[in-house]
């Protein structure tokens, strides 16, 4: 088997036996990228010489670090010092941050090799990776289809073996939904589990960085690597980080799992429903106790999310004004003119739509009716989960109501597009962790994802459930037929 098709933990084994070198892995990835990246467009910035150089510069002494020699791709909204970090937006064209995000520092410290940046929806605004200024990323399972979004580049790269694993970010499902649609594992940690320092903010109270991997064990490894309190991020939690990798390899007998009825509504594909039902049966076979439950405020999640997230985004994106960095429009006559022209030229349609929506929601006269009310309902949604978790150890749902849709299918209809995050948004509003793992395929051979949601800071339980499921199924081993890619 090609090295690029392996998981991180398999490569760690091979590296420790000295059967292979980091350069071998890097080369294998490079050749895969050269073969198929043109048809996939999963990467925003990739320089093979630089990647090889980083590999060569690896010092043996950092071998102690758990990810020594393992290549990793980073979503384009996570700051890497002196490397292009553009959020796949024209307004950040050419922008190279003067510092590393905390997660990047952590990865470098333990010997991981930064390969490049993955494509994404502009500023993570989207569920299809179609709003990128670099053009859409294609789903490795069907090039006519989207890979999900906004971390679609990361998910597609991992799925198509251009990456061993990757970092994504999840504000309303941007890790889990593309993982589901691209047939890989995606984990959104608890809000506060992973430092956001250096993650270019979309919605500060919802954003989390997390792993996109080929299997659950890799998700555990990568989560462990990036978690922990950071004094540069006062919203990062000072909570102990457990040894996920060894702790998840335990049975799930007797674990109580809730199945919320609000996630099996009309509009969910029958094939998706069927796969989830089979997955639940599988979990029961493994000893879990699955019971129906209710999260009554689920129906408001999308509305609440599109007020809270856009309000924060409208403020977070104000700084892209042409003054200090990124794009500055030419032929300007005044400071106001500079702001207007720069932002008009720099932002795409979806970014503009969300900035306008968020600005509106915060405006005096509308604040109480929209933003303030949304915060109240957000609390209700969180309370739904609090009470469910009094009874259950985890909650299981579909990750997405449908499998991957076609490129262009929803891009001109924002409301339909927004509904593709209907099952992932609540976890962000409540701040709880969630993971998506492959649990089946449609008859068109498109992946289906199972979402497992857990208690705050209890990533261990959802990883454990996911790992047990994965050990007893073969879905994650399927690879896209990429003969058509080549």
Partner 1 sequence: MNYEIVIGLEVHLQLNTKSKVFCGCSTDFGSAPNTQACPVCLGFPGSLPVLNRRALELGAKVSIALNCQIAEKIRFDRKNYFYPDLPKDYQISQFDQPLAQHGILNIITGEAEKNIRIRRVHLEEDTGKLFHQKDSSLIDFNRCGIPLLEIVSEPDINSPEEAYLYLTALKSILEYLDVSDCNMEEASLRCDANISLRKKTDKGLGTKTEIKNMNSFKGVKAALEYETKRQMDLLKDGKRIIQETLLYNTEKGVTEPMRSKEEAHDYRYFPEPDLAPFNFEKSFLKAIEKDMPELPEPKKNRFIKDYQLSGYDAGIIVSDKNTADYFEKCVALYSNPKTIANWLIGDISRYMKDNNVSIKNLNLKESYLSGLLRMIDNGVITGKVAKTLLIEIIQTGKDPEKLVKEKGLEQISDANLLEAAASQVIAENSKSAEDFKNGKDNAIMFLVGKVMQKTKGRANPNKINEMLREKLKGVK
Residues involved in catalysis: 75, 150, 174
Q: Using DSSP, state whether 435 is helix, strand or coil.
A: strand
| Contact flag: residue 97 with partner 1 (CB under 8 A) | yes
Minimum CB distance to partner 1 smaller for 327 or for 465: 327
Minimum CB distance to partner 1 smaller for 234 or for 412: 234
Minimum CB distance to partner 1 smaller for 98 or for 240: 98
Minimum CB distance to partner 1 smaller for 169 or for 442: 169
DSSP H or E run through 168: strand 166-170
d(CA 85, CA 117): 8
| Contact flag: residue 321 with partner 1 (CB under 8 A) | yes
The closest of 150, 126, 143, 128 to 76, measured between CA atoms, is 150
d(CA 242, CA 475): 27
Q: 16, 34, 251, 335: which one contacts partner 1 (CB under 8 A)?
A: 335
Minimum CB distance to partner 1 smaller for 264 or for 366: 366
Helix 301-316 to helix 349-362 angle (10° resolution) is 100
CB of 325 to partner 1, least distance (A): 7
| Contact flag: residue 85 with partner 1 (CB under 8 A) | yes
The closest of 171, 9, 90, 62 to 351, measured between CA atoms, is 90
Which positions from 39 to 78 touch partner 1 by CB under 8 A, shown as an x/- string? --------------------------------------xx
Q: Which two tokens stand for residue 314?
A: 């409208």
| Contact flag: residue 79 with partner 1 (CB under 8 A) | yes
d(CA 101, CA 95): 15
CB of 56 to partner 1, least distance (A): 28
Minimum CB distance to partner 1 smaller for 234 or for 246: 234
The closest of 40, 39, 30 to 153, measured between CA atoms, is 40
CB of 430 to partner 1, least distance (A): 15
Q: 93, 250, 319, 391: which one contacts partner 1 (CB under 8 A)?
A: 319
| Contact flag: residue 337 with partner 1 (CB under 8 A) | no
| Contact flag: residue 235 with partner 1 (CB under 8 A) | yes
Residue that is written with structure tokens 């990647």 in the block: 51
Q: Rounded to 10 degrees, what is the CA torsion of 219, 222, 225, 230?
A: -80
| Contact flag: residue 95 with partner 1 (CB under 8 A) | yes
CB of 320 to partner 1, least distance (A): 8
3-state secondary structure 325-373: CCCCCCCCCCHHHHHHHHHHHHCCHHHHHHHHHHHHHHCCCCCHHHHHH
Spatial strand order in the sheet of 185-188: 43-46, 113-118, 71-75, 166-170, 208-213, 185-188, 434-441, 447-454, 394-398, 256-260, 289-293
Q: Which two tokens stand for residue 446?
A: 């498109």
Secondary structure (DSSP) of 112-138: -EEEEEE--SGGG--SSS-S-TT----
Given the rule CB under 8 A, which of 49-57, 310-318, 380-388, 419-427 is the region that contacts partner 1? 310-318
| Contact flag: residue 323 with partner 1 (CB under 8 A) | yes
| Contact flag: residue 233 with partner 1 (CB under 8 A) | yes
Minimum CB distance to partner 1 smaller for 99 or for 264: 99
Exposed, middle or buried, 200 (CB in 10 Å: 0-12/13-18/19+)? buried
d(CA 29, CA 48): 10
Contact partners, residue 340, CB within 8 Å, separation at least 6: none
CB of 40 to partner 1, least distance (A): 27
Contact partners, residue 68, CB within 8 Å, separation at least 6: 15, 22, 58, 62, 110, 111, 112
CB of 77 to partner 1, least distance (A): 8
CB of 239 to partner 1, least distance (A): 14
Q: 18, 38, 49, 234: which one contacts partner 1 (CB under 8 A)?
A: 234
Q: 16, 34, 232, 386: which one contacts partner 1 (CB under 8 A)?
A: 232
Minimum CB distance to partner 1 smaller for 200 or for 248: 200
By CB under 8 A, the residues from 357 to 386 that bind partner 1 are 359, 362-364, 367, 371
Minimum CB distance to partner 1 smaller for 57 or for 324: 324
By CB under 8 A, the residues from 164 to 223 that bind partner 1 are 196-201, 203-205
Applying CB under 8 A, what is the total number of residues that bind partner 1?
44
Strands 166-170 and 447-454 come out as unpaired
Q: 47, 53, 231, 386: which one contacts partner 1 (CB under 8 A)?
A: 231
Given the rule CB under 8 A, which of 3-11, 32-40, 309-317, 439-447 is the region that contacts partner 1? 309-317
Q: How many helices (H) and strands (E) does the chain have?
A: 16, 11
CB of 97 to partner 1, least distance (A): 7
Minimum CB distance to partner 1 smaller for 235 or for 387: 235
| Contact flag: residue 325 with partner 1 (CB under 8 A) | yes
d(CA 40, CA 162): 10
Q: 287, 291, 318, 477: which one contacts partner 1 (CB under 8 A)?
A: 318
Site residues (vs partner 1, CB under 8 A):
77-79, 85, 87, 92, 95, 97-99, 101, 196-201, 203-205, 231-235, 311-312, 314-315, 318-321, 323-325, 335, 339, 359, 362-364, 367, 371
């Amino acid at each position: 088997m090609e090295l690029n098709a392996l998981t991180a933990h398999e490569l760690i084994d091979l590296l420790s036996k000295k059967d292979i070198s980091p350069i071998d892995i890097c080369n294998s990835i490079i050749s895969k990228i050269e073969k198929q990246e043109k048809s996939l467009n999963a990467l925003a910035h990739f320089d093979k010489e630089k990647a090889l150089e980083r590999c060569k510069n690896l010092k043996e002494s950092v071998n102690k670090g758990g990810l020594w020699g393992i290549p990793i791709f980073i979503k384009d909204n996570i700051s890497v010092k002196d490397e292009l970090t553009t959020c796949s937006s024209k307004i950040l064209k050419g922008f190279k941050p003067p510092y590393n995000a905390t997660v990047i520092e952590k990865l470098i410290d333990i010997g991981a090799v930064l390969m490049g940046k993955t494509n994404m929806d502009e500023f993570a605004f989207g569920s299809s990776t179609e709003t990128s200024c670099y053009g859409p990323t294609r789903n490795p399972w069907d090039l006519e289809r989207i890979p999900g979004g906004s971390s679609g580049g990361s998910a597609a790269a991992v799925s198509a073996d251009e990456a061993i694993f990757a970092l994504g970010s999840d504000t309303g499902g941007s890790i889990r939904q593309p993982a589901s649609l691209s047939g890989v594992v995606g984990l959104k940690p608890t809000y506060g589990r992973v430092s956001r320092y250096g993650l270019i903010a979309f919605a500060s109270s919802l954003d989390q960085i997390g792993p996109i991997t080929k299997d659950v064990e890799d998700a555990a490894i990568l989560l462990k690597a990036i978690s922990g309190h950071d004094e540069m991020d006062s919203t990062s939690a000072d909570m102990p980080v457990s040894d996920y990798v060894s702790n998840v390899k335990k049975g799930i007998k007797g674990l109580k799992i809730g199945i919320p009825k609000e996630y099996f509504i009309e509009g969910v594909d029958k094939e998706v429903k069927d796969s989830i039902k089979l997955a639940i049966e599988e979990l029961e076979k493994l000893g879990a106790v699955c019971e129906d439950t209710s999260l009554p405020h689920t129906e408001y999640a999308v509305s609440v999310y599109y007020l809270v997230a856009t309000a924060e985004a409208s403020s977070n994106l104000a700084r892209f004004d042409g003054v200090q960095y990124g794009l500055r429009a030419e032929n300007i006559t005044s400071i106001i003119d500079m702001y207007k022209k720069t932002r008009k030229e720099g932002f795409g349609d979806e970014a503009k739509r969300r900035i306008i929506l968020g600005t509106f929601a915060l405006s005096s006269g509308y604040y109480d009716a929209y933003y303030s009310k949304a915060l109240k309902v957000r609390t209700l949604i969180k309370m739904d989960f609090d009470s469910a978790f009094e009874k259950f150890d985890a909650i299981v749902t579909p990750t997405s109501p449908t499998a991957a849709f076609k490129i262009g299918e929803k891009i001109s209809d924002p409301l339909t597009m927004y509904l593709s995050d209907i099952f992932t948004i609540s976890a962000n509003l409540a701040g709880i962790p969630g993971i998506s793992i492959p649990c089946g395929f449609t008859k068109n051979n498109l992946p289906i994802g199972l979402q497992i949601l857990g208690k705050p800071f209890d990533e261990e339980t959802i990883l454990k459930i996911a790992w047990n499921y994965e050990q007893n199924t073969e879905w994650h081993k399927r690879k896209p037929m990429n003969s058509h890619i080549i």
